Amino acid sequence: MKQRIHPQVKEIKAVCACGSSFVTKSTQDSIHVDICSSCHPFFTGKQKLVDAEGRVEKFKKKYAKK
């Protein structure tokens, strides 16, 4: 490998929107995520709709039986 062309990888603290945090390695200074393994429906078994910009309500409104 060539020397001095690769970015520095350091340990950082990643923070989720739910409030949990974990330590990982990255080239960035900090990471903020919307969903993590503590709050993801696949890992928790609970159904939770992650709505970005009202898309779920827009879909329900569009396809609701009148």
- Within a domain: residue 56? yes
The predicted pLDDT at position 36 comes to 83
Residue 38 lies in a domain: yes
Q: Distance between CA atoms of 58 and 63, rounded to whole angstroms?
A: 9
Question: What is the domain count for the chain?
Answer: 1
pTM: 0.53
Confidence (pLDDT) at 47: 67
Smallest CA-to-CA distance from 32 within 42, 51, 19 is with 19
Residues 6+ apart with CB under 8 A from 10: 25, 26, 27
* CATH code of residue 19: 4.10.80.400
Residue 31's domain comprises 10-63
pLDDT digits (tens, 9 = 90+) for 11-30: 999 999 888 899 999 999 99
pLDDT band, residue 49 (cuts 50/70/90): low
54 in any annotated domain: yes
Beta bridge partners of 15: 21, 32
Beta bridge partners of 23: 13
Q: Does 26 reside within a domain?
A: yes
Do the domain assignments include residue 4? no
